[in-house]
Each structure stands twice: as C-alpha cells, then as structure tokens.
Amino acid sequence: MNKRDDTPDEYRPHFGFTSGRLARIARGDGDQLTLVVGNLATTDVFNTLRTTEKSRAGRVIKEHALGNLRHIVECAAAIPTDRVAIVISYSSRDFADEYGLARAESVAIVASMKDCSAFLERKISQEEFIQKSKVHLHDKNGTVKLVEVELD
C-alpha cells in the first residue's frame, strides 16, 4: 500500500483511496484529468423494500452530489481538469428484517466540465445532466456497474 508521507498511520484505505485526502486527480481517456472527490457519505439508510438500487442512487445524486457541484466545479476549474467525479456512500437494509444490518452502497457520478457548467448555468436540466454523465454504482453485494439512475 502506497501512503503519502503526511497520511496518518491509523488511516486505512477506503474504496481505492490510499490516503486520507478528500480529493484526487486522476488521468484517463487520453490525457484527460478528472478531479475525483470521494470519501463523502450520508447517514441516510434506505429501505430496500420500497426503493431500488437505481432509485437510491438517483436520490443520493440529487440530494447530495448536485448540491455540492458548484463548489467542486470551482475547485476543478482552478486546477484545471476536464471532468469531475463525485463519490458518495450511503446504506440500505430490509426494514422487514427486525435485526437486519444496513449494507454499504456508493454511487459515483462522472461529468465533463462542459456539462457541469451548462447545468450550473441552467442551460440543461437536472435530468439531462445526469443522462449525459456516467453513473457508477457499487451495490450492497460489492458489484460495481455502470447504471442509468431513476429520478423521482
């Protein structure tokens, strides 16, 4: 495991991050740079009997990722990067099972800076923005997949 010199000894990697940093720069698709903002979480616990994994992911994106988008884009513009990615963790459980444990899920939305700017300037709708973005879901079973989220 590669740790930066300034990473606390007690830190343990989480979802592929190797230091306690909230943001990372990733290089992909040619030489495009992506600002990856991770280690974000919500205390929301979703009922698996009333929601689907796609609706849970959509709700987390709407309520948490999009609310922070303006600040994240401002940081990304200062670097400058081509894309931003926001990763948020949350929980779900079967509420019919009295002793059932909540299981972790996470969603990542990856969007181009152009699409972020268009959304923030209200040139495209929330639905259009999410459709143009790539949404990756890390479900409660540990599977990572590209999905189209459901917005309510």
Q: Report residue 127 CA to chain centroid gap.
A: 16
Task: Please check the confidence at residue 66 and state whether its pLDDT lies above 50.
Answer: yes
Q: Among 58, 25, 23, which Cα is nearest to 44's?
A: 58
> Binning pLDDT at 50, 70 and 90, where does residue 6 land?
low
Task: Please check the confidence at residue 114 and state whether its pLDDT lies above 90.
Answer: yes
Mean pLDDT, all residues of the chain: 85
Residue 32 CA: distances (Å) to CA of 64, 112, 126 = 25, 10, 24
Q: What mean pLDDT do residues 39-64 have?
A: 92
Q: Which residues lie below 8 Å from residue 135, measured CB to CB, with a gap of 6+?
A: 57, 61, 107, 108, 109, 110, 146, 147, 148, 149
Determine the pLDDT at residue 13: 47
| This prediction's pTM | 0.81
* More confident call, 151 vs 125: 125
